[in-house]
Structure 1
């Protein structure tokens, strides 16, 4: 490890320790909120039989399919209904769609999968930990689990980037199969990850320091992952402060914290460089051919509202839903609004 990396690691560790100490009082307050809750929901209760999908490089992707429930009258579901493929974001897994899955289960055929190196999917070779590979993985999931019929794609954060890359790298499949797109809390490019820490950090400095710091931290995974372990103060602080726009139920914060903690720091470091170089603006015009809904919270600290507005301006006919006071986890904070918007998207896709 070089001298710069050692210094960065030392600063990172010191910062983690300071943040951990600072959050103890707040965690007690949030725990008090949890004690006042009427019920604790099991956010991992929704399951379908596990399916393994082999990606092009051999990486095994964990997937689940929720089929349409038979109508009580015995009538068959409308065969024109598109299958909805949900694509989760960075450091999350398919469980992040709990509120959408719960509300829509039985009414739509839905495919969920863990992106490579996330959740229960296999670890990706380092050289394939890229946004481009994620787009190819989505193509494989569609080919394996939706071999026929129309498709609607819904992506959150990095999942939205995966959808854009899929459209760029597999234009024929997109044109033939996709009938609607939902892009939630995501961006097509121009992302500056350091701005989540402070909008006052100059871009030139942030672009130089942020990736080096992440790499340095990844070189000491035992130290960092122990600090980020499920239930740790620092993990809770990150989940509470950076992902939510307003006070969230403690159970939701802890659920998010568990998903984040389950993603090793080395995985985070492998995918991190792709965010800084992402540029998918040219492919957005393709989405003008299908109903497209863009959703973002007005207090999103990671992919701010400006990103969604830029995408909407490049997609003719796109619907932009700006959710007041919601953060990056708008799919938690404003689940009812998100679900209603997605149902409207599915209806629009069915009419085509």
Structure 2
């Protein structure tokens, strides 16, 4: 005989079931709308980069560099077409991205063939390994950069180019290795970055969620470690929403190239939740104004998009206040991934800067 469910409990179960049904229906509708928006955007005519082969640009050699914390860093090197005494240019990418960040700068300098180029994936990003234990911190990223420089540029001059967290990495490197600047490091390009803590409401999370969940980031790290695979699968299922968020928060133009958006979202999606959560705390506590003092002895170029939501123009202006001899270039109608969204304008700013140093 089937046991009877008390009337009050039956009512509660019915309400709960209805609520679950409504939530499920709402999510299904939301995902359908998102999918429609993405498909319309991706298939819109006039995409200038629809035929661009973003994956796996050529290189002359690759190696694995082991950082002090045991992280294995994937490095690719592009050699000049002829022997040169010009500085080696080392590129340092940002949060939730990889060396593909500098696709158009890599393409330009490779075609010119007059500089040696070094690219690497930051710990937990791209083809580099994750930390075996503990949380990531900006100081540790500075140590990783030091390991890459020791392994790939044992002598000669160096120009460092950093985007977003990559710029912070250069600051952390400068904080510990001030003697390199003006001696080995003869130029620095800082793109879409900040010398102070980043507003947690803007780090690729909706502001309300970021503010509400900030106290629980240590718990997030544990949860990601235990269930990162499940969370990653959920992220994959909501890739249409991720594409729309990437377009909204990464780009300044209302209708950027869909191919560029997909390229950036692809880099984002390959970065595990475990890595993302372990980086958040250090990004929220980043403050390296004193480290900028080490850069005063070298030429510095600061580049930022005028519609950068994550590291707005005001952050670059603060850097300039502390580096009055630095040059700042603001790129119109562009967002956080300015070096991709407005590649021609960014290259036009970087090339004469590099040539003057060389």
TM-score by length of 2: 0.84
The answer to whether the 8 Å contact 1:231/1:254 transfers is: no
CA distance in 2, matches of 1:349, 1:139: 22
Residues 110-121 of structure 1: matches in 2 within 5 Å? 110-121=117-128
CA distance in 1, matches of 2:274, 2:29: 22
Given candidates 24, 34, 42, the residue that maps to 2:35 is 24
Q: Are residues 284 and 197 of structure 1, via their aligned partners in 2, closer, same or farther at CA, if it must alter by over 3 Å?
A: same
Say if 2:292 is the partner of 1:284. yes
Say if 2:112 is the partner of 1:104. no
Q: Which residue of 2 aligns with 1:309?
A: 317
Q: Which residue of 1 aligns with 2:193?
A: 186
Deviations 1:56-87 (CA, angstroms, capped at 9, x unpaired): 122211001111112xxxxx53x1x1100000
Given candidates 322, 338, 344, the residue that maps to 2:330 is 322
Say if 2:42 is the partner of 1:42. no
Structure 1 residue 217, shift from structure 2 partner:
6.6
Structure 1 residue 16, shift from structure 2 partner:
8.4
Cα RMSD (Å) of the superposition? 2.8
Q: Are residues 69 and 16 of structure 1, via their aligned partners in 2, closer, same or farther at CA, if it must alter by over 3 Å?
A: farther
Structure 1 residue 107, shift from structure 2 partner:
2.2
CA distance in 2, matches of 1:209, 1:25: 35
Q: Are residues 196 and 114 of structure 1, via their aligned partners in 2, closer, same or farther at CA, if it must alter by over 3 Å?
A: closer
Deviations 1:299-325 (CA, angstroms, capped at 9, x unpaired): 111111111111111112111111111
The answer to whether the 8 Å contact 1:227/1:235 transfers is: no
Say if 2:63 is the partner of 1:62. no
SS in 2 for 1:272: helix
Structure 1 residue 31, shift from structure 2 partner:
1.9
CA distance in 2, matches of 1:170, 1:336: 33
Q: Which residue of 1 aligns with 2:12?
A: none
Q: Are residues 163 and 200 of structure 1, via their aligned partners in 2, closer, same or farther at CA, if it must alter by over 3 Å?
A: closer
CA distance in 1, matches of 2:49, 2:245: 25
The answer to whether the 8 Å contact 1:180/1:349 transfers is: yes
Residues 227-266 of structure 1: matches in 2 within 5 Å? 227-229=234-236, 232-246=239-253, 247-266=255-274
SS in 2 for 1:23: helix
TM-score by length of 1: 0.85
Structure 1 residue 113, shift from structure 2 partner:
0.4
Say if 2:156 is the partner of 1:149. yes
CA distance in 2, matches of 1:161, 1:119: 18
Deviations 1:236-269 (CA, angstroms, capped at 9, x unpaired): 1221111011121111111111111100001000
CA distance in 1, matches of 2:152, 2:203: 36
Q: Which residue of 2 aligns with 1:162?
A: 169
Larger Rg: 2
Q: Which runs of 5+ in 2 are unaligned?
A: 1-19
Structure 1 residue 55, shift from structure 2 partner:
0.9
SS in 2 for 1:42: coil
The answer to whether the 8 Å contact 2:182/2:298 transfers is: no
Q: Which residue of 2 aligns with 1:83?
A: 88
The answer to whether the 8 Å contact 2:181/2:295 transfers is: no
CA distance in 2, matches of 1:91, 1:151: 25
CA distance in 2, matches of 1:344, 1:319: 12
Say if 2:308 is the partner of 1:300. yes
Structure 1 residue 170, shift from structure 2 partner:
1.2
CA distance in 1, matches of 2:127, 2:237: 17
Structure 1 residue 20, shift from structure 2 partner:
3.8
CA distance in 2, matches of 1:90, 1:201: 21
